[in-house]
């Protein structure tokens, strides 16, 4: 619950931004809340015309400071996005105190990247990335880094 007495969050970042994820993220926002997505509506990654607020679209390529064409959508050149990216990565390089991403050590070295790693990361939408394997290292990936020892 926030200070106004309503439940929900003010800001959300949908790092999947496909299928129903945009709608699910939007459903937890307080009135007037905002969300950001990484895939554009123009790229047909999601459709949520019934949302109360249009999500803000942002692409990592904006940080390059150049206009980029992606899946029929133009990511416009943005000096502000470039400035933010430069400052953000400079801040990261100072050894900023951030929680490290958990590592999943994958067995088999490079010989297993295609059969295991690519299978886990898959192609298509998140809902389609279901792996029917029983090995512990083949559980769904969630907020972690897959690492192979060479």
The domain segmentation of the chain, as residue ranges, is 9-92, 103-148
Global confidence as pTM: 0.53
What is the chain's pLDDT, residue by residue, as a tens digit (150 residues)?
A: 444 556 788 888 887 787 778 888 888 999 888 888 877 666 566 776 778 888 887 777 778 888 888 767 787 888 888 888 888 788 878 876 667 789 999 999 999 999 999 888 877 666 677 788 999 999 988 888 999 998
The three-class DSSP label of residue 30 is strand
Block residue for tokens 């969630």: 142
Residue 112: exposure state from Cβ atoms within 10 A (0-12, 13-18, ≥19): middle
75 neighbors 67 (Cβ within 8 angstroms): yes
Instruction: In whole angstroms, give the CA distance from residue 141 to residue 144.
Output: 7
């Amino acid at each position: 619950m926030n200070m106004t007495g309503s439940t929900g969050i003010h800001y959300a970042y949908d790092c999947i931004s496909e299928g129903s994820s945009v709608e699910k993220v939007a459903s937890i926002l307080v009135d007037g809340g905002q969300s950001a997505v990484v895939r554009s509506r123009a790229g047909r990654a999601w459709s949520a015309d019934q949302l109360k607020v249009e999500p803000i679209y942002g692409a990592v390529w904006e940080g390059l400071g150049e206009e980029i064409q992606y899946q029929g959508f133009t990511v416009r050149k943005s000096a502000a996005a470039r400035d933010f990216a430069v400052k953000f990565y400079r801040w990261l390089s100072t050894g900023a105190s951030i929680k490290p991403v958990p590592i999943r050590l994958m067995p088999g070295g490079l010989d297993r990247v295609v059969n295991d790693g690519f299978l886990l990361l898959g192609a298509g939408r998140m809902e389609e990335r279901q792996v029917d394997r029983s090995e512990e290292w083949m559980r769904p990936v969630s907020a972690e880094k897959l690492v192979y020892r060479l």
